[in-house]
Amino acid sequence: MPKIIPAYLTFIIIFSISILSVKGQVVFAQESTPETSNAVPLTESPVDDEGGFEDEFEDEFATADQEVFDPLGGYNRVMTGFNDGFYILVLDPVARGYRWVLPDTARRGVKNFFHNLFFPLRFVNNVLQLKAKNAGEEFLRFSINSTIGILGFWDPAKELFGMEAHEEDFGQTLGYYGVGGGFHVVLPFLGPSNLRDMFSLYPEMQMDPVNYVENRSYNFPKQEGEYLGVSRQTLQALDLKLLKTVNSESLRIGQYENLKKDAIELYPFLRDVYEQNRAKLIRE
Partner 1 sequence: MQAAKKIIINMLLVTIFSFSFGTTFLFADEISEIREMTKEKVDHVISTLKDESLSKAEKKEGILKTIDSLFDFSLMARLSLGKKHWTTLSTEGRAEFSELFVEKLKQSYLDKLDLYTDEEVVVDEAKLTKKNRVEVLTYLVSKDDKMEMTYKLYKTKKNVWMVYDVDVLGVSIVQTYRSQFSGILKKDSLEELIERLRSSGELGS
Residue ranges that bind partner 1, judged by CB under 8 A = 7, 10-11, 14, 17-18, 21, 24-25, 28, 31, 35, 38-43, 46-47, 50, 54-58, 61, 63-65, 68, 108, 111-112, 155, 164, 251, 254-255, 258, 261-265, 268-269, 272-273, 276-277, 279-281, 283
10 Å CB burial of residue 155 (0-12, 13-18, 19+) is buried
64 vs 228 by CB, closer to partner 1: 64
10 Å CB burial of residue 126 (0-12, 13-18, 19+) is buried
55 vs 224 by CB, closer to partner 1: 55
128 vs 251 by CB, closer to partner 1: 251
The rounded distance, in Å, linking the Cα atoms of 72 and 136 is: 40
CB of 145 to partner 1, least distance (A): 13
Instruction: List Cα–Cα distances, 104 to 75, 98, 153, 167, 251, in angstroms.
Output: 38, 10, 13, 23, 8
CB of 14 to partner 1, least distance (A): 5
Dihedral sign (CA 172, 173, 178, 183): negative
96 vs 108 by CB, closer to partner 1: 108
The rounded distance, in Å, linking the Cα atoms of 134 and 165 is: 8
CB of 247 to partner 1, least distance (A): 12
CB of 83 to partner 1, least distance (A): 19
Asked whether the beta carbons of 206 and 196 are under 8 A apart, the reply is no
CB of 47 to partner 1, least distance (A): 6
